[in-house]
A and B are shown apart, each in its own frame.
Chain A
Amino acid sequence: MNTDDCILSAFSAEARVNRKYHSFAKIAAGEGYDHVAKLFRATSAAEEIHSHHLLSIGGYLGTTAENIETGIIAELRASNESYPKFITIAENEDRSEAVVTFTHAMKAEAAHAVLYREAADAVKAGKDFDAEIIYLCPVCGNIEIDRTPERCPICGIPGSSFKAVE
């Protein structure tokens, strides 16, 4: 194991706990522990600082053109390789909740890859990505540009539930 392996391993660990503590904060608030919730928000923010440093020193932050290309590769791998494999395994084990979660994520990642491709083309042409409003489906992570469909094509919730991203 060399330093670059350590950076990658530490980044993975920090990113995971950042997300965990974020979820734990919501549970604590739900249970009425406002100060424990705040502590979890603080630790989550601390792990965000660590993960950002690790990305930076590991050389994983490039120009926007490079970052979009990295994003496309990751989204395509998730939607074409990882999630299809995970869905098959979950189906064989009859874990229907996992099948649904994996399936939604697989389809959302495919949508992300398409949008990244459009953004990459714009940036290569010296322009910004052409979008006024970006809407996010709060259930499955699908993203729609400028207007929402009547129902989310991935998970089926009404388009009026989508949130505009600030």
Chain B
Amino acid sequence: MNTQDCIDAAFSGESQANRKYKSYSEAAADEGYDHVAKLFRATSAAEEIHARRLLRVGGYIGSTVANLEAGRIGELHETNEMYPEFVAIAEKEDRQDAFITFTHAMKAEAVHADLYQKALDAVKAGKDFDVKTIYLCPVCGNIEINKTSERCPICGIPGESFKVVE
């Protein structure tokens, strides 16, 4: 294990803790522990700081062109390789909840890859990505540009449930 492996392992650990503590803070707030919820928000934000520093120290943050390219490759890997394998395994084990979560994520990542490609084309032409409003499906993570569908094509919730990204 060399330093770069350590950076990768630490980044993975910090990212996971950042997400876990964020979810824990919501559970604590629901249970009426407002100050525990705030502590979890604080630790989540702390792990965010660590994760960002590790990305930088590891050389994983490049120019926007490089970042879009890295993002596109990652999304394509997930949608074409990782999630299809996971979907098949969950299907075989009859794990319905996992099957649905994996399928939704797989389809959303394909949309993300496509949007990254469009943004990449714009930035390479010296322009910004051409969008007015970006909508996010709060159920499956699908993203729609400028207008929402009547129903989310991935998970089926009504388009009016989509959130505008600030």
| A residues whose Cβ falls under 8 Å from a Cβ of B | 1-3, 6-7, 9-24, 27-28, 31-36, 38-43, 45-57, 60-64, 67-68, 70-71, 74, 78, 82-83, 85-86, 89-90, 93, 95, 97-98, 101-102, 104-105, 108, 112, 115-116, 119, 122-123, 128-131, 134, 136-143, 165-166
Give the shortest distance, in Å, between A146 (CB) and chain B (any CB): 11
Q: Please pick, from B28, B41, B46, B141, the residue contacting A112 in the complex, using a CB distance under 8 A.
A: B46
With A19-B18, A27-B63, A98-B7 as given contacts, are A128 and B34 in contact (CB-CB < 8 Å)?
A: yes
Question: Are B39 and A43 within 8 A (Cβ)?
Answer: no
- Once bound together, how far apart are the Cα atoms of A48 and B26, in whole Å? 13
**Residues of chain A contacted by B20 (CB below 8 angstroms):** 55, 60, 67, 70-71, 74
**Residues of chain A contacted by B63 (CB below 8 angstroms):** 27, 31
**CB nearest neighbor in A for B138:** A49
Contact of B166 with A by CB under 8 A:
yes
With A43-B143, A93-B3 as given contacts, are A3 and B42 in contact (CB-CB < 8 Å)?
A: no
**Residues of chain B contacted by A51 (CB below 8 angstroms):** 19
With A19-B52, A43-B143, A46-B143 as given contacts, are A71 and B24 in contact (CB-CB < 8 Å)?
A: yes
| B residues whose Cβ falls under 8 Å from a Cβ of A | 1-3, 6-7, 9-24, 27-28, 31-36, 38-43, 45-57, 60-64, 67-68, 70-71, 74, 78, 82-83, 85-86, 89-90, 93, 95, 97-98, 101-102, 104-105, 108, 112, 115-116, 119, 122-123, 128-131, 134, 136-143, 165-166
New contact pairs (12) apart from A10-B86, A33-B129, CB-CB < 8 Å? A12-B12, A19-B18, A20-B70, A23-B55, A27-B64, A36-B123, A43-B112, A74-B20, A108-B50, A112-B43, A136-B42, A142-B46
Give the shortest distance, in Å, between A96 (CB) and chain B (any CB): 10
- Once bound together, how far apart are the Cα atoms of A34 and B134, in whole Å? 12
Interface of A is mostly: helix
**Residues of chain B contacted by A55 (CB below 8 angstroms):** 19-20, 23
